[in-house]
Amino acid sequence: MEIFALLVVLLLVSASAFVNGWTDAPNAIATVVSTRVLSPRAAVALAAVFNLLGVLIMGTGVAKTTASIVSIGTGVDALIALSAAQLSIIIWAVSAWRYGIPTSESHALIAGLMGAGVAMKGFSAFNWKEFQLVLWGLLISSVFGFLSGLITTKGVGFAFRNVRRAAANKIFSAGQVGSAALMAFNHGAQDGQKFMGVFVWAILVWQGGNVGGVFDVPFWVMLYISVIMGIGTSIGGYRIIKTMGMDMVKLEKYQGFSAEIGASACMLVATSLGVPLSTTHTKGTAIMGAGAARRLSNVNWGIVKEMLMAWVLTFPACLAIAYVMVKLFMWIF
C-alpha cells in the first residue's frame, strides 16, 4: 500500500510540474515572444535549456523551504495528504488556464500543502518560520516586482534617450534574448526547485524520514522535473504568453527587456535567500510596471483585475480543495 501511495504522489507531482510548465513557465518568455524577438518555438527551447540550468546551479534552498512549510508525518496517511495537495494544484491551474488567466502554481502548491497539513494535524502542522519566508515572497513578487519594472524601464529609457529608435531596437532585440534566458533560469531556480523539493519529500516520507539537515536532491530528479516542465511549456504555453505579453500591455522592446531584468533581479535575491517566490506574480507585476512607466493607460487594467482576482483566490481555493481532498481520500482509503 505504501509503495502504491508513493507512486501516486510521484505521478501527481510530475503532473503538477507539467501543469507548471503549461501555465506558469510561459510567463518567463512572454515578453520576448510578444515583442517578436523570438518565435514561440525558439522561446520554448530557450526556456527548457535555462530552466534546467537554473535548477542545477542555484542549489536547493527553495526546495527545502517548500518541503518544510508543513509537517504531515510519515506513512500512508502522509502520502495521501501529499497526493491531495498536488491534485488541488492541477484542478486550480487547469481551470484558470482554460480562460487564459496566469495563476501562480507556486502559491497553489504552498496553499495545497497548507490545506493538507490542516486536514492532517490542524494549524499546528504549520512551520511558521518557513511560512514567514512565503510572506516575504508575496511582498517581493508584488510590490518589488512592480517597482523593479517601473524603475528599470525609466532608467533604461533615460539612458537611451538620445539613441535612434532603430539602433536601440537592435540593441534590445539582442538584449531580450539574454534577459529572457535569465528569466527562464530564474524560473527553474524557483519553480523547478519547489516541485523537485516535494518529489524528494515524498520519498523521504515513504522512507520514514523527515526534512532536515542537508537536503539532497539527486541529479536525476532535477533533470526529470526540468524535462517535464519543458514538455508542458511546449504544449500549452501560448495562451498564457498571449495574456501576459500581448493583451495586458503592448510592450516595446526596451520595455520587455526592462521587465525581464527587473523581475530577474527580484528572483535572484529571493532564490539566494531560500525565499519561495511566484514567477507569475513577479513577472506580471514587472510587466505592469514597465507599461506604467510610460503612462498608466498603457496597461489594460481589465486584464490586470482578472489576474489579481485569480491571484487573491489561489490561496483560499487551493487550501480548501486540498483539505477536502485529504478528507475524501482518507475516507476512501
CA dihedral sign of residues 223, 226, 232, 237: negative
Question: What is the structure's pLDDT at 281?
Answer: 82
Count CB atoms within 10 A of the CB of residue 165: 11
Residue 38 contacts residue 32 (beta carbons within 8 Å): yes
Distance CA 283, CA 67 (A): 24
Question: What is the structure's pLDDT at 14?
Answer: 93
Question: What is the structure's pLDDT at 214?
Answer: 56
Residue 278 contacts residue 248 (beta carbons within 8 Å): no
**CA 204, chain centre distance (Å):** 24
Helix (H, G, I), strand (E, B) or coil at 90: helix
Distance CA 102, CA 311 (A): 9
DSSP 8-30: HHHHHHHHHHHHHHHHTTHHHHH
Q: Which residue type sits at 221?
A: V
- 226 contacts: CB under 8 Å, gap ≥ 6: 48, 51, 52, 55, 188, 192
- 291 contacts: CB under 8 Å, gap ≥ 6: 248, 249, 250, 251, 255, 298, 299
Task: Report the greatest alpha carbon distance in the chain.
Answer: 69
Distance CA 205, CA 120 (A): 14
Question: What is the structure's pLDDT at 329?
Answer: 85
Short-list 245, 239, 269, 241, CA closest to 257: 245
**What are the φ and ψ backbone dihedral angles of 299, each rounded to 5 degrees?**
-95, 130
Instruction: For the chain, state the CA radius of gyration.
Output: 19
What is the chain's pLDDT, residue by residue, as a tens digit (333 residues)?
Answer: 778 889 999 999 999 888 887 776 666 677 777 777 888 778 878 887 888 888 888 777 888 888 888 888 878 888 988 998 888 888 887 777 676 666 777 788 888 999 999 998 888 888 888 888 888 888 888 889 899 999 999 999 999 988 888 888 888 888 888 888 888 888 888 888 889 889 998 998 888 766 655 568 888 998 898 888 878 777 755 655 655 555 566 778 888 889 889 999 999 898 888 888 887 788 888 888 888 887 777 777 777 777 777 778 888 888 999 999 899 888 887
Helix, strand, coil shares, percent, the chain, to 5: 80, 0, 15
Question: What is the structure's pLDDT at 148?
Answer: 93
Three-state SS string across 46-94, please?
Answer: HHHHHHHHHHHHCCCHHHHHHCCCECCCCCHHHHHHHHHHHHHHHHHHH
Residue whose grid cell is 490542516: 118
